[in-house]
A and B are shown apart, each in its own frame.
Chain A
Amino acid sequence: MQESHSKGSSTLDGWRGYLFAALVVTTFAGIGWLLRNSLAEADVGMTFLLAVVIVAHRTSIGPSLATAGLSVAAFDFLFVPPFYTFAVREAQYLVTFAAMAVVGVTISSLTARVRERERAAHEARLLVEAEQVRNALLSSISHDVRTPLGSLVGSASALLEEHLDEANRAVLLETIYEESRHLQRLLDNLLQMTRVTGNAMSVRKEWQVPEEVVGSALRRVGDLLGERLVEVEVDPKVGLARFDGMLIELVLVNLIENSVKYDSSGGPVGLAVRSTQDELIWEVTDAGPGLPPGEEDVIFRKFYRGGDRTERGSGLGLTIAKAIVEAHGGRIWGCNRSEQRGAVFGFGLPASEAAPPVPAEELA
């Protein structure tokens, strides 16, 4: 998509166009001047016409007309007797100028029209693509929303209309609560998705304490983790790091949710942070079934879901994580653990800046 558009950037606009025109005319005049003894007057005229064609092709109407004018002037000054004056004895040179001007305008407007058409085609293609993405999004959302909505409507109407005993009422109320929480998570994900994949993702970097972000992420997924064992390991050498705390927390939340979702056995979740020379590495491990071979990359695609889609989720969590990490100039990966069953999802954030000082103080 982007390659075809870059053609447009070869158009020289503003003062660059005029500079280009002057350069081309000077060059061609120079060449003509050097070869003046072996070229007929008409050949020199053709040389200048070539200059007009070249400029018209690369620029717009203004520089093309300037080229035509400059060419006629140079032609007149250097090649038409009396030499080195702008005096013109015959009206035929006016015709030469007119011809050059017409050629210049025609070619530059033709080129402009072609470019415009290319741009229109490009935009139309983008629109079609955006439309396809939107349709995919809509069909996916409406499926994901309808299911919990169905349970909500059903449970609520049963509570209103049926005579149920206390135990059954409790079950239905529980269902309503859980399904609405699910809808909420889905909506949050969609909102985040539009935010992080839009052009205007704003990354607000501040000096953060990674251990704190781990803590707040774990707090946010507390309900989901339940009694599951969580092993946190933050390398004591990890100091301050610069990133958007809210966004990186979201990455961790999404990775942990993902691990919990695909490890139904309730196995432990591991969370580790360590720093290498030029990166801050974060890893989330689980003891689940791991990734099917060859799926290490597709899992980050929009709406991709592992397994048989019975897992509840939006298929957006990892895509959001990837977009956020990449907006930080980092990298993200998922693979199977080598030492035991389970998957490990990790990401690295570049650590290029030296941490700022924090004034020390004496112990009380």
Chain B
Amino acid sequence: MQRYLRTLLRSSGYILHVESRGQDAIAAAAQHLPDVILLDLGLPDVDGVVVTRQLREWTMTPILVLTARDMERDKVEALDAGADDYLTKPFSSRELLARVRVALRHVALRRNDDAEPVFECGDLRVDHGKRLVTVRGEAIKLTPIEYRLLTVLTKHAGKVLTHRQILREVWGPKSTGYPHYVRVYMLQLRRKIERDPARPTYLVTETGVGYRLDLEACGS
């Protein structure tokens, strides 16, 4: 796995620092200040979720966690602990490079401003300034919650968001909402945005985890 990642990432022009143990990785992150951290949750010394938490105590560097298929719980835990995204092994080189690009994009965005004033992806256009959403050139009407939901997703475009994160951002930190609120509003939003709501291309479900605004739909 390490050899594969090394070869792939180096040949794509990235500079790598590799550590095999969690504690060493935290020290290395502090020393080299990388742009993106790839963290395998199956570490020999400590729990990957703990490493995520410790990193988040002092750095906002994007963390991409790598997990095995049978670690769904850990995945959500790591995301709620502050990881930015995940990849389930085995993953293709295309998936990995796409996630790394999304992470870097968010680093750049964070440096400038919080959200892009206008978000465009394929047929979807969200003008935050005018509070205007158009799909295939036509303006669509959204309820306040639908709009907030869409805004949260566009702000984190390409990144997975857990049910908990969405509930917190859309319904407020003190809300007593349930995951099914998110599901119901997501369905409504899809019916207004997606060409085929049963086979969404923009607002995709990450089963057992949450949702993602898929940048592949932008066709770029």
Cα of A207 to Cα of B147 in the assembled complex, Å: 23
**Interface residue A211 (Cβ < 8 Å from any Cβ of B):** yes
**Interface residue A246 (Cβ < 8 Å from any Cβ of B):** yes
Q: Given A230-B199, A364-B141, are A212 and B69 neighbors across the interface (CB < 8 Å)?
A: no
**Interface residue B44 (Cβ < 8 Å from any Cβ of A):** no
Question: Do the beta carbons of A209 and B183 come within 8 Å of each other?
Answer: yes
> In the assembled complex, how far is the CB of residue A183 from the closest CB belonging to chain B, in whole angstroms?
10
Question: Which residue from B184, B204, B206, B207 sits with its C-beta under 8 Å from A209?
Answer: B184
Q: Given A212-B186, A219-B205, are A364 and B178 neighbors across the interface (CB < 8 Å)?
A: no
Which of A40-48, A79-87, A296-304, A355-363 sits within the interface?
Answer: A355-363
Question: Do the beta carbons of A356 and B178 come within 8 Å of each other?
Answer: yes
Number of B interface residues at 8 Å Cβ cutoff, please give it: 29
> In the assembled complex, how far is the CB of residue B190 from the closest CB belonging to chain A, in whole angstroms?
8
| Chain A interface residue number, banded | 20 to 34
Over the window 202-226 of chain A, the binary record of Cβ atoms lying under 8 Å from chain B Cβ atoms (1 yes, 0 no) is 0000111101111110111000000
**Interface residue A180 (Cβ < 8 Å from any Cβ of B):** yes
> In the assembled complex, how far is the CB of residue B188 from the closest CB belonging to chain A, in whole angstroms?
10
Question: Which residue from B144, B179, B206, B207 sits with its C-beta under 8 Å from A361?
Answer: B144
Question: Do the beta carbons of A245 and B69 come within 8 Å of each other?
Answer: no
**Interface residue A158 (Cβ < 8 Å from any Cβ of B):** no
Question: Do the beta carbons of A232 and B198 come within 8 Å of each other?
Answer: yes
Q: Given A215-B205, A216-B207, A246-B207, are A209 and B198 neighbors across the interface (CB < 8 Å)?
A: no
Question: Do the beta carbons of B199 and A215 come within 8 Å of each other?
Answer: yes
Least CB separation from B131: chain A residue: A364
> In the assembled complex, how far is the CB of residue A206 from the closest CB belonging to chain B, in whole angstroms?
6
Question: Do the beta carbons of B187 and A212 come within 8 Å of each other?
Answer: yes
Question: Do the beta carbons of B183 and A207 come within 8 Å of each other?
Answer: yes
Least CB separation from A220: chain B residue: B207
Over the window 125-150 of chain B, the binary record of Cβ atoms lying under 8 Å from chain A Cβ atoms (1 yes, 0 no) is 00000000000000001111101000
Additional 12 contacts, C-beta under 8 A, given A191-B69, A215-B204, A358-B180: A180-B90, A209-B180, A211-B187, A211-B197, A230-B199, A232-B196, A240-B183, A240-B184, A245-B208, A246-B72, A359-B181, A361-B143
**Sorted from nearest, which 3 A-B pairs have the closest CB atoms?**
A207-B180, A216-B205, A232-B198
B→A interface (CB under 8 Å): 69-70, 72, 90, 141-145, 147, 178-181, 183-187, 196-200, 204-208
Q: Can you identify 24 A-B contacts, CB atoms within 8 angstroms?
A: A207-B178, A207-B180, A207-B183, A208-B183, A209-B180, A209-B184, A212-B187, A212-B205, A214-B198, A215-B204, A216-B206, A216-B207, A219-B199, A220-B207, A246-B72, A246-B207, A249-B207, A358-B180, A358-B181, A358-B185, A361-B144, A361-B145, A364-B141, A364-B144
